Structure 1
Amino acid sequence: MMKNKLVMIMVIMLVSITLVGVIALVVITKFSGDAAAEKEPSAKEIVEASVEVPEITTNLASGDFIKISFTIQGDNKKAKKELEQRSFQVKNIIITELSETKSEQLKGKAGKEQFQEKIEANVNKLMQEGKVEKVYITSSILQ
């Protein structure tokens, strides 16, 4: 009788361990499948979802002038269309942000990246059809 109970406990433990292994395998496979599905967009897809912001010349908070242009990448074609329709709002965001920025803040890679992130966050607050993936500075002259 004791022997049967011991065999039964061993069988239950083996089944439990096997079940945990199968669940772990399914979870790992699912997560690695999602990572493969979220691949980086191709250059063509980026261009199809991007909008160019023509060169803007404006004053900075420090009294200097800047000539700057951007390309804004949306997450899809609907986002691109919305960005085109909101171009005046996007330009307004850029100009008002630049008016509060000092020339020292735009010098160097870190300063430019921080400014791009600020523009991205502010434009995303407007977006309804999609979202901004990335803001690129395509030309910049600081005087």
Structure 2
Amino acid sequence: MFKNKMLQWLIMILIAITLIALASFILWEYLDAKSQPSDPLEKAANSVEDVKAKKMTAQQEKENSVEIKEILTNLTGKHYVKVSFSFLLDNAKAKEEFELLTPRVRAIILQTLADLTAEQASGSKGQDLISTTLINKINPILSKGKLVRVDITDINIVSN
């Protein structure tokens, strides 16, 4: 009788420990997944923190900047956007390479904008999102330097 009761208690304790361990694991996975951004655009914004620019004078910024004006494209939904950019590169060789890759850069810009809704592209957060996403997508195609900043110099979002 005593052995039977002891065996029942032992089984209940093992089941309780197993359930606690399982609940802890599930909770850990849930909290870990919640702490990481699920939106790919948010991940892009977080990863741009790795790009550090050296301090430049106004003259150096002017010499290492490239403008792309008036890109007109559809956004997701019934909106379109007309936008102009200024791209700051870290050196003259990177600027030359960037200018040679302008058609590819334009394609990257169009692809990035096509994935956004009007709400995502609006406001300062939307502009930051566009800028950081472009930095993350353009830097891998550059071999002679880095893109350190993207400024949106003009943006108009219009509904159809």
- TM-score scaled by length of structure 2: 0.64
Counterpart position of 1:88: 103
Do residues 125 (structure 1) and 147 (structure 2) align?
Answer: no
Counterpart position of 1:97: 112
How many residues are aligned here?
106
Gaps of 5+ in 1: 1-37
Counterpart position of 1:11: none
Q: Cα distance, 1:63 vs. partner?
A: 2.2
Provide the alpha-carbon RMSD of the alignment: 1.2
- TM-score scaled by length of structure 1: 0.71
Distance 2:61 2:54 in 1: 13
Counterpart position of 2:56: 41
Q: Cα distance, 1:39 vs. partner?
A: 5.9
Gaps of 5+ in 2: 1-52
Q: Cα distance, 1:133 vs. partner?
A: 0.5
Give percent identity, aligned residues only.
33
Aligned AA (1:135): V
Q: Cα distance, 1:93 vs. partner?
A: 0.3
Counterpart position of 2:41: none
Write out aligned runs for 1:46-57 (5 A). 46-57=61-72
Q: 1:123 to 1:67 in 2, by over 3 A?
A: same
Ranges of 4+ aligned residues in structure 1 off by more than 3 Å: none
